[in-house]
Amino acid sequence: HFVQAALEPGAEVLLSLDWERRFDHMQQHSGQHLITAVAEQMFGFKTTSWELGRQRSVIELDTPSMTAEQTEALERSVNEKIRERVPVVVRELAADDPEIETVRSRGLPEDHVGPVRVVDIQGVDSNMCCGTHVSNLSDLQVIKLLGTEKGKKNKTNLVFLAGSRVLKSIAQSHSTEKALTSLLKTGPGEHVEAVKRLQNSMKLLQKNNLNLLRDMAVLIARDFKSQPVPSQLFVLHRKEGDSEFMNIIANEIGTEETLLFLTVGDDKEAGLFLLAGPGDAVENLGPRVAELLGGKGAGKRGRFQGKAAKMSRRGEAQALLQEFVSRQSPEA
């Protein structure tokens, strides 16, 4: 708390508190104490650190792994303690009190002075702590363990929600479930299978689309080569396409004599480009084309390709290439 001037000990002050946020922190913190104590009692997993996150919290356990069965058993046990309405009591002990030796702790700071604050979950845990807590485990309402993740240094991160966060998570999941039911036209129990079917259909469509693009690339190249007097510069842009589409065209046309400038992507946004042709020309023009298109690229053996951030400047790049071709023309 920040004040404009020092306060006299014992002075009464008016404090404005965000109670919803404070109570959330109390639920998560007391929930962590409970999970930590029961995990150690049941499996010998010691807590080495924890994080109070904005949406979910994480306890770092000193174990390389934790099975799904252990997680389920731990969740059942902590929720049993909540239903038993176990009191949570805050005490202050003198620094030289022998009872401190029996309290779970990572040790006091070297510069600590004054009494030691201890948080007791009666019959479950006694732990040094300076944080805010509920006064009874029933205030936690419920704890949900979301599972584990691989932690650092051969440890395991246990992810959990406590109290109101569980209710918020359920509400969010239900909202998502309703939206998916509307989109997929199936009940919640069939959502996974419906998505799998959509994924399979998408893969098939992508495969068919790729085959069509390949065929189109070959036809475009053959049409160009069938011209009585092929142009020295070939320019093509398609919104649909990829690097393979452009390279097929370049392979089919051949780049010994013709300079090719191919682009794919949105007309006015980002996309891909390929400059192909005689090696010296491409080596000279490639970086300049990339710069005009606001992109980056690389090239070798007569090809320079990359990403373009400004497709709207294709006309400027084409003008640069046309000027180069005109200077190389015998008539010029």
Backbone angles phi, psi at 259, to 5 degrees: -95, 125
Using CB atoms within 10 Å of the CB of residue 323, give its burial: 0 to 12 exposed, 13 to 18 middle, 19+ buried: exposed
β-strands 259-265, 233-238: how paired?
parallel
Residue 84: its pLDDT value, please? 97
Q: 160 falls in which pLDDT band (50, 70, 90)?
A: very high
pLDDT band, residue 98 (cuts 50/70/90): confident
Does the pLDDT value for residue 1 go beyond 80? no
Which residue type does 10 have?
A: G
| pLDDT band per the 50, 70, 90 thresholds, residue 332 | very low
pLDDT in the model for residue 177: 96
pLDDT per position as a tens digit, 14-25: 888 999 999 999
Of 76-80, 179-183, 279-283, minimum mean pLDDT range: 279-283
Q: Which residues on neighbouring strands pair with residue 299, listed in sequence order?
A: 304
DSSP conformation letters of 255-271: SSS-EEEEEEE-TTS-E
Pairwise CA distance, residues 253 & 306, whole Å: 20
Average of per-residue pLDDT across 69-73: 98
pLDDT digit string, tens, across residues 194-250 = 999 999 999 999 899 889 988 988 999 889 888 887 788 999 998 888 888 999 999
Other beta carbons within 10 angstroms of residue 32's beta carbon come to 25
Beta strands, E only, the chain: 47-51, 57-61, 88-93, 116-121, 125-128, 143-150, 156-162, 233-238, 259-265, 271-276, 296-300, 303-308
Tens of pLDDT, residue by residue over 106-149, are 777 778 888 999 999 999 999 999 899 999 999 999 999 999 99
Cα–Cα distance between 29 and 139 in angstroms, integer?
12
Q: 103: Cβ–Cβ under 8 A, 6 or more apart, which residues?
A: 93, 116, 118, 126, 127, 128
Give every CB contact of residue 270 below 8 A, 6+ residues apart in sequence. Answer: 295, 307, 308, 309, 310, 311
CB atoms within 10 A of CB 53: 12
Contact, 324 vs 258, CB < 8 A?
A: no
Helix H or strand E segment including 165: helix 164-184
Per-residue confidence (pLDDT) for residue 102, from 0 to 100: 82
pTM score, two decimals? 0.70
Say if residues 321 and 233 touch (Cβ distance below 8 Å): yes
List phi, psi (to 5°) of 255: -120, 20
What φ, ψ does residue 318 adopt, rounded to 5°? -65, -40
Name the β-bridge partners of 300.
303
Rounded distance between C-alpha atoms, residue 93 and residue 71, angstroms: 34
Crossing angle (nearest 10°) for helices 19-43 and 68-83: 120
Q: Give the pLDDT score at 326.
A: 87
Lowest-confidence region among 44-53, 71-80, 321-330: 321-330
The domains found in the chain, sorted by start residue, are 19-103+115-173 (3.30.980.10), 225-328 (3.10.310.40)
Asked whether the predicted pLDDT for residue 331 surpasses 60, the reply is no
Residue 12 backbone phi and psi in degrees, to 5: -90, 135
Amino acid at 26: M
pLDDT of residue 12: 93
pLDDT band (50, 70, 90) for residue 151: very high
Average pLDDT over the chain, rounded to an integer: 92
Half-sphere CA count of 93, side-chain side, radius 13 A: 18
pLDDT digits (tens, 9 = 90+) for 262-305: 999 988 889 999 999 988 889 989 999 999 999 989 988 889 99
